[in-house]
Structure 1
């Protein structure tokens, strides 16, 4: 049996790049690279991690399990630890990105979200999605945001990266032929969810007490997206398994913890920067979602 390539093996193969460290927030692993960063002639074997490749330019042949697929247009390719694969380039220019991750990484917040539940990652299913120009632009935007976030110093960037990874999977899911042909309404649900999560994430980090959070309630997001709040809740729950309020509460809690840890702002200043009308409301919210008051949390981390 051929040796399974580990994440450590992958990094050792990066010629002249032994200085690269595993980017890890303590639960699972995630990283992203431009496709030209590594040699495209990977050997045909299994890996112990998941991988998503966005091919924006370049042609080649994907050898996957016992099949070979010719790629001559933009595409997404999904690989999993169970099935060996390799990429054989047939053109000099190879552009795009790929990300690699463990299942522990994507499940670290929501254990109900498993990539194994989705057809692109299952044995015997189609691992390739061919893309039109619009889909290529949309997915390229997400990968660029991931590259940008990977180089940031934001303390909760891996939480943000998990959301981007889920967005890629959901964007792919709505393009998956067998699913897309069954229910066109899935497209609208994923589109609304994508824009909601993007609006939510783009508000962070809070860097100035004079520029408070603008969107904090379900009503705020529904108004911005021009949909009824009940419909927004419904589609977000359908796509992600969590309702809109849970996503908002989680992100505000994470930002509140970051501000308490990394700034000298008072609890009152943090409360107003997160658009709470009264500091007491923020204290109640924080205690409900974190399990202790803001002052107790700050004392704990000092």
Structure 2
């Protein structure tokens, strides 16, 4: 995992002055003024900070396990749980980005970033913007830049409002079918199940171990019958409860195999498998390739 301190070191070769005095270590930059001089490919890892990027240009972003080509005007949200990287930026790229730790919203103003529907959608939080939407997002970034350079005593309270507005605008632009609604019991059950599933990830330490691996374990936690849980999940998502569980474990397995130096046996144990043979069989069924081969690709 890359820390915010490491980000500043490799991005700018120095740590901004007085940044430790700021709760959550917030900062905002114009892309064209902070262009990477070298052309090395950024490492595909998780970070310990949030990032929002308003991007104008063309590039390929790797978000989790997806390669996403973006062009023209794009707004992107990056979460510490999801590894990401992108190709070196061209000199024609323009836009802004801001970075901050979760503590930035844990003082007087609390925005629960981990539970925003933006990060629960099946689609990555990457938005191709119309001209008017781009101007709206660009205005918010311009206000952040303006306040960050000023000495107003409450400037970070203003900036929190601008950052929050970007999140809420993005959720407003998210197609309704990609979000869980609260209209009926099945959707509420699906939402609670999804939250319980995601709470077990990411796996950060070898000592971590997921506890809920079977549909009946989730049903017991939710105080409902497993058959009712299965019906609700199938009705809302079109997939079975087991499919959701196995796909999420499979995704985490890919991340750990690619982005840690852990042994396959250690990864198998953190993901709750009794033995390595069981994990190998599971992974090959999910991906069509065994863990050793995937790690070497």
Normalised by the size of structure 2, how large is the TM-score? 0.54
Structure 1 distance, partners of 2:45, 2:180, is 34
CA displacement 1:197-252 (0-9 Å, x = unmatched): xxxxxxxxxxxxxxxxxxxxxxxxxxxxxxxxxxxxxxxxxxxxxxxxxxxxxxxx
- Please tell me whether residue 21 in structure 1 is matched to residue 17 in structure 2: yes
Deviation at 1:23, TM superposition (A): 2.8
Tell me the equivalent position of 1:93.
Answer: 92
Aligned pairs for 1:1-302 (under 5 A) are 4-15=1-12, 17-18=13-14, 20-21=16-17, 23-36=19-32, 37-39=34-36, 41-55=41-55, 57-89=56-88, 91-111=90-110, 113-122=111-120, 125-178=123-176
Partner-residue secondary structure (3-state), 1:14: helix
Kindly indicate whether the alpha-carbon contact (under 8 Å) linking 1:24 and 1:30 is maintained by their aligned counterparts in 2.
no
Kindly indicate whether the alpha-carbon contact (under 8 Å) linking 1:58 and 1:92 is maintained by their aligned counterparts in 2.
no
Kindly indicate whether the alpha-carbon contact (under 8 Å) linking 1:79 and 1:121 is maintained by their aligned counterparts in 2.
no
Structure 1 distance, partners of 2:178, 2:145, is 29
Mark the runs of 5 or more structure 1 residues left unpaired by the alignment. Answer: 184-302
Deviation at 1:10, TM superposition (A): 1.0
Deviation at 1:13, TM superposition (A): 1.2
CA displacement 1:51-96 (0-9 Å, x = unmatched): 01011x2100010111100101211111111111011157541110
Q: Aligned-residue CA RMSD in angstroms?
A: 2.5
Kindly indicate whether the alpha-carbon contact (under 8 Å) linking 1:25 and 1:158 is maintained by their aligned counterparts in 2.
no
Kindly indicate whether the alpha-carbon contact (under 8 Å) linking 1:28 and 1:108 is maintained by their aligned counterparts in 2.
no
Structure 1 distance, partners of 2:95, 2:7, is 19
Tell me the equivalent position of 1:230.
Answer: none
Aligned residues: 177
Kindly indicate whether the alpha-carbon contact (under 8 Å) linking 1:173 and 1:179 is maintained by their aligned counterparts in 2.
no
Structure 2 distance, partners of 1:110, 1:5, is 26
Structure 2 distance, partners of 1:22, 1:176, is 37
Structure 1 distance, partners of 2:153, 2:97, is 23
Alpha carbons of structure 1 residues 106 and 179: separation in structure 2 relative to 1, 3 Å: farther
Partner-residue secondary structure (3-state), 1:28: helix
Partner-residue secondary structure (3-state), 2:141: helix
Partner-residue secondary structure (3-state), 1:45: coil
Alpha carbons of structure 1 residues 170 and 106: separation in structure 2 relative to 1, 3 Å: same
Tell me the equivalent position of 1:244.
Answer: none
Kindly indicate whether the alpha-carbon contact (under 8 Å) linking 2:9 and 2:15 is maintained by their aligned counterparts in 1.
no
Structure 1 distance, partners of 2:15, 2:48, is 21
Structure 2 distance, partners of 1:34, 1:91, is 14
Tell me the equivalent position of 1:273.
Answer: none
